[in-house]
Structure 1
């Protein structure tokens, strides 16, 4: 049976460099005995035991020959003897060696018929490509993470579709997709002056699938200096990949920002947003918009940006229905990247399971001039964080997909363009709305653009146009923000006072004079 050789991009090897600096997790050799079948309750018990013991960040030596590998060199090391391959099961697993930025070994075991079994480690399972095999590799080196395979793109051959590697990061791709936006198990204090804390998965349990299975189940144990946790991932591959996440976390100490269901992506430039810095491509980004659905039925679209300084924006919500990082343009001509293929990077949607109550979605945008570094973070912050030692449960479903058509029920912004206006300091914003009820309206319908601004900004002029060939409405407005005071701009389309679209919003800075 043939296996696709999975190649990690430079960016996806580098974007976890901060998490690699936290120290190494200690290597657990003994496996506690549990009565009955192993499941989520046993992982919760281990997370609780970690909480009640002093935190340990014991460093294990990773050979210098592996630590010095560049991302490109590290990507050559491939597991060529997948777990479950010889049994002919629908899912297979391949493992990563520690090395490069990923120098924290993790414990990985399998669950067979409810019982924990070790996964023997052997260097013979790895192909080093064009690299010379170092002679200082210990026979018990262990793993840094894993990926799962399924007959997705080229059945009956197995293809990689999800990868867990570094801190609590994981990413997935459906049919015909290329890795882009990543998810994390948990985030703590992102972009704060005190410094971000990266919780990490220190142990995994892979449930051996039954013949004919269409779902894969993975358990994970989270640890850090401030939080422990138990996770259960139920993963379903296909045209879109869905990952149902169930988690229980325990804070060791209070934190400033507890980040639930964090997403991490990259936005360099596109359509007048972000510094081009001489790059000839029309756009370069994994995601173009943050989309949010509030419990009151309002949908909000916030185009992403690459700001000159760190920028954090919060959106208060009650009982959120979902949020996600969306890639709008799906044409190659929008990016012209033969190697990057941004039109195939998946959108990622977070759908809460149960009532998440009050809180806010927080968007963090970091300045970058490098497409190999993720600079976008979006996550949910609950209004009330648990007390230290208190069990905090939450669940949600992640979906990695290409087709956005069925995501938003209303008319919605499908493109955003920004430019400088004729008045010094003013900006021209252009927003295209389509879909939903707009699809049924004739061009003669008296649709209005409702625009609001704050912090002293002024709407200098506005107009609305209709494109009959592609059936969308275009809003064009010149807005003058106060210098040094960004304005929150909101816009939606209405018909006879009735909202017809979700709300477009953006933090608009004055143009340089």
Structure 2
């Protein structure tokens, strides 16, 4: 069985077969000023940017693989036997707040990655010495003279306890990386760039050829620079990583297309969704929900907070939330209770959410969500990114700047947040019943006590539900208090009237003003 993380890290082309008829129009993405380095750009950032620009003027050449057959032929379990020796970590014992460990090239991670250390005014290329790794049961199977290389690295920091360096962030496989906030366990991933994710050409997976890692100036942050290279584009990336309860990554990228590109995704995220209360189809399983993320959230330029529950569809489906000047989007794991999953090993309630906030204008485009059918939790089947209307032109330089936060939930919203969505048979023939819970994150504990009748504290007036559909007919909604969650429940019935698909939209308003996230749902026959 292929492990899900293995699948996403290799960039295998389950996504590459996707097709879409979405058309792109001319947008407003800004072209960076050529040759002029930003005033705040470090010497290392300028070096990587210059290399990316020069590389874009040449044809793409994949990294040369020099692995011994015993390493290239390893399976997943054999590769797991190759472990970095923690005592050989970079900055071990120096109390800098960060340590570095490395992954060897083997198995499917065959492309060598250059890793440079930037410290004390110099840049040093690190060598993949056999003494860095414990080969365990594979010791006698790999010749002593076999050349080794790095396939990636991970950063450790005292994230959860002051006296222990937890794994914080990993870069390995194409341009994939993933990080953790406090008390999280690994779930969804991010990558540098998405190309042709929804066709018609095969999806491309640019890779990080080289990394430069700066010695931390203090214990608050660490900076990593990455040189991106692919068939159609190169790029220079700067990641400033700030660990904490919510681990933040400030990402600055300069992109140099080798050819015109019309299907580009900025700040792509990938995750897994198999089942939940609103989409319980799939293999028989004792767990009520199986996913790394349960919703796609967006905060648009009209100041609407949108929420679309994820699904594992019967066929590939794409959703495009049109916008100008987006304020944020992300894949969210909102249910944080063990009872929601009942999985003692996977502990899905501990998986991080990821939230993207543009720091400059990304112009016109859409926050795009792609959902892919799956019957197993080992494969990532959810992709989200920002897709600009304007194509990237060969020979130009483009800059994007954003903040990526590994967190529990969306920030900066204190109204009603969508909780569980439930779907069932309606009370009349041909109808479908929807039950949507909203958590009132503004409610004080006294109000929640009052909602069950044990206090004289006045209750907040019930909001009204505003519902629409692109096809079919919606019955009158019912809004009730839900004291068990400190919020409200909206219930309505939908008659598709023979239509195969309909876009549903539900929000709560109080005194004519929006007071909730906007719930979006694509109903399909």
| Fold conserved between structures, TM > 0.5 | yes
Match of 1:478 among 458, 470, 493: 493
Question: How far apart are the structure 1 equivalents of 2:99 and 2:346?
Answer: 27
Are 1:451 and 2:457 an aligned pair? no
Structure 1, unmatched stretches of 5+, are 1-8, 22-35
Post-superposition offset of 1:94: 0.5
Are 1:331 and 2:326 an aligned pair? no
After TM superposition, the score normalised by the length of structure 1 is: 0.89
Which moves more between the two structures, 126-135 or 293-302? 126-135
Show the counterpart of 2:479. Answer: 464
Q: SS where residue 260 of structure 2 aligns? A: coil
Change beyond 3 A, Cα 1:509–1:299 = same
Question: How far apart are the structure 2 equivalents of 1:181 and 1:58?
Answer: 27
Which moves more between the two structures, 36-45 or 483-492? 36-45
Show the counterpart of 2:380. Answer: 374
After TM superposition, the score normalised by the length of structure 2 is: 0.87
8 A contact 2:330–2:356 mirrored in 1 = yes
Are 1:82 and 2:97 an aligned pair? no
Post-superposition offset of 1:338: 1.0
8 A contact 2:299–2:326 mirrored in 1 = yes
Question: How far apart are the structure 2 equivalents of 1:68 and 1:139?
Answer: 13
Question: How far apart are the structure 2 equivalents of 1:107 and 1:215?
Answer: 22
Q: SS where residue 269 of structure 2 aligns? A: strand
Question: How far apart are the structure 2 equivalents of 1:400 and 1:445?
Answer: 35
Post-superposition offset of 1:423: 4.4
Change beyond 3 A, Cα 1:419–1:59 = farther
Which moves more between the two structures, 460-469 or 233-242? 460-469
Show the counterpart of 2:455. Answer: none
Post-superposition offset of 1:139: 5.0
Which moves more between the two structures, 62-71 or 275-284? 62-71
Show the counterpart of 2:106. Answer: 99
Show the counterpart of 1:497. Answer: 512
Post-superposition offset of 1:93: 0.6
Change beyond 3 A, Cα 1:230–1:482 = farther
Alignment of 1:208-357 (within 5 A): 208-210=215-217, 212-357=218-363
Q: RMSD between aligned alpha carbons?
A: 2.3
Show the counterpart of 2:122. Answer: 115
Alignment of 1:400-411 (within 5 A): 400-402=406-408, 404=409, 406-411=411-416
Q: SS where residue 452 of structure 1 aligns? A: strand
Which structure 1 residue ranges, 4+ long, deviate > 4 Å from structure 2?
Answer: 422-425, 436-444
Match of 1:144 among 133, 142, 151: 151
Question: How far apart are the structure 1 equivalents of 2:285 and 2:357?
Answer: 36
Are 1:11 and 2:26 an aligned pair? no
Question: How far apart are the structure 2 equivalents of 1:393 and 1:141?
Answer: 35
Show the counterpart of 1:29. Answer: none
Question: How far apart are the structure 2 equivalents of 1:254 and 1:410?
Answer: 42
Question: How far apart are the structure 1 equivalents of 2:165 and 2:189?
Answer: 22
Match of 1:201 among 200, 208, 213: 208
Change beyond 3 A, Cα 1:428–1:73 = farther
Larger relative contact order (CA 8 Å, sep ≥ 6)? 2
Question: How far apart are the structure 1 equivalents of 2:511 and 2:98?
Answer: 54
Change beyond 3 A, Cα 1:66–1:426 = farther
Show the counterpart of 1:509. Answer: 524
Change beyond 3 A, Cα 1:259–1:114 = farther
Question: How far apart are the structure 2 equivalents of 1:20 and 1:237?
Answer: 32
Show the counterpart of 2:503. Answer: 488
Change beyond 3 A, Cα 1:58–1:85 = closer
